[in-house]
Amino acid sequence: MKIGFIGLGIMGKPMAKNLKKAGYNLWVNNRSRGPMEELANFGCVPATQAEIGEVCDVVLTMLPNSPQVREVMLAPGGVAEHMKPGSVYIDMSSINPVASREIAATLAERGIEMLDAPVSGGEPKAIDGTVSFMVGGKQEVFDRMKPLLLTMGASAVRCGEVGAGNTAKLANQIIVACNIRAVAEALTLAKMAGVEPELVFRAIQGGLAGSTVLNAKAPMMLSGDDRPGFKIDLHIKDLNNVLDCAHAVGAPVPMTASVMEVMQWLHAQGKGQLDHSAIAQYYEALSGAKLRE
C-alpha cells in the first residue's frame, strides 16, 4: 500500500515518521522544502501533490484549516483530480465539519472514499505515536484504515459519518480551552490569597480537578514556559469553527464565546504564537500577580 502525506508541520512531520518507521512506503509533500528533505533522508519519497495523487492508494493531509484542505484537494489540478477511484483520502486536519462533508461529497463523485480524522494530543503525542483520532466516515473504510491510524495514535474512535470526527474535535477544543482557563483562574486566586500555586497544583491533581490539561499546562504556567505546544492562534481557528458550527445548528456556547474573547485579547497583544497555556497571562495582566516564578 502506497501512502501519501501532505503537510509536514509540527504535527505532520513526526506522524509521517511514525508511518515510515512502521514500514509503510511514504510519498511526502510540504509547502516548504526543509521538512521534505528531512523526510527524504528518513527514506520517504519527496513528491509533488499531483504525483502523490497519481501514485498513492491512501492520501493523508495534516493542514491548518478548511481553506488549505480545499485548496490542496479541490483546486483545479489539485490532488483529487489525480486520485484513482477506489483510493482513500484521510484528512487529519482540524477543520469545520461542514467543510469535511462538502469535500467528501465532491470526492465521492470521483469514487474516492474519505475519512475525517482530526487528532488530539499535541506535538509530544505526535512524536510518541500516541495521539487520539476522532474519526468520521463509513464503518467499512474506518475498519480498513484503522491499523494505519494506530501506527500514529493510541486510539481511533469512529463517531459517525464524515464530519463526525471534526465535530468531536470541536467538542474536544471547547473542553480544552475552558479547562485551561479554569486552571489559570484557579491558580491566580490561590496566588493572590497567599498560597503557593505549585503546592495547590500538587494537592488537587489526584482529585476531581485532575485532568490531562492540569498535568500538562499548570507546570507551563508556573514555570513561564510558553513555547507551543499548541498555539493560541490555532486554538482561535478551532474556536471559530466551534462558533460557526454552533450558530449553524443553534447550540448555546456562551462559555466558549467567553474563552474565545480571552484568546482574541492575547492575539491582539501579540501573543498568538504562544502556547494556549498563555491564557494565564490574561489573568496575570488583570491581577498583577505572577504565576511564573
- Smallest gap from residue 281 Cβ to a copy of itself (A): 13
Please name the amino acid found at residue 129: G
Instruction: Give the footprint of a copy of itself on residues 161-190 (CB under 8 A).
Output: 163-165, 167-168, 170-179, 181-183, 185-190
**Residue 157 phi, psi dihedral angles, 5° rounding:** -115, 125
**Residue 138 phi, psi dihedral angles, 5° rounding:** -65, 145
* CB closer to a copy of itself, 48 vs 155: 155
Do residues 142 and 164 make contact, with C-beta atoms less than 8 angstroms apart?
no
Q: Is 293 in the site for a copy of itself (CB under 8 A)?
A: no
Do residues 93 and 69 make contact, with C-beta atoms less than 8 angstroms apart?
yes
- Smallest gap from residue 89 Cβ to a copy of itself (A): 20
- Smallest gap from residue 282 Cβ to a copy of itself (A): 9
Cell 506522524 sits at which residue? 15
Q: Is 196 in the site for a copy of itself (CB under 8 A)?
A: yes
Q: Is 34 in the site for a copy of itself (CB under 8 A)?
A: no
- Smallest gap from residue 26 Cβ to a copy of itself (A): 25
Q: Is 55 in the site for a copy of itself (CB under 8 A)?
A: no
DSSP state string for 105-130: HHHHHTT-EEEE--EESHHHHHHHT-
- Smallest gap from residue 171 Cβ to a copy of itself (A): 4
Nearest to 206 by CA among 214, 197, 198: 214
Instruction: Give the footprint of a copy of itself on residues 89-108 (CB under 8 A).
Output: 97
Do residues 52 and 107 make contact, with C-beta atoms less than 8 angstroms apart?
no
Q: Which of 38-46, 59-67, 106-114, 127-135 is the region at the interface with a copy of itself (rule: CB under 8 A)?
A: 127-135
Do residues 248 and 98 make contact, with C-beta atoms less than 8 angstroms apart?
yes
- Smallest gap from residue 155 Cβ to a copy of itself (A): 5
Q: Which of 2-10, 61-69, 76-84, 207-215 is the region at the interface with a copy of itself (rule: CB under 8 A)?
A: 207-215
Do residues 279 and 262 make contact, with C-beta atoms less than 8 angstroms apart?
yes
Distance CA 225, CA 49 (A): 37
290 classed as catalytic: no
Do residues 256 and 242 make contact, with C-beta atoms less than 8 angstroms apart?
yes
User: Catalytic pick from 169, 217, 231, 271?
Assistant: 169
Q: Is 192 in the site for a copy of itself (CB under 8 A)?
A: yes
Instruction: Give the footprint of a copy of itself on residues 212-271 (CB under 8 A).
Output: 212-214, 216, 230, 242, 245-246, 249-256, 258-259
Side-chain half-sphere of 137: how many Cα atoms within 13 Å?
A: 29
Residue in 139, 143, 157, 224 binding a copy of itself, rule: CB under 8 A: 157
Q: Is 126 in the site for a copy of itself (CB under 8 A)?
A: no
- Cite the active site residues: 169
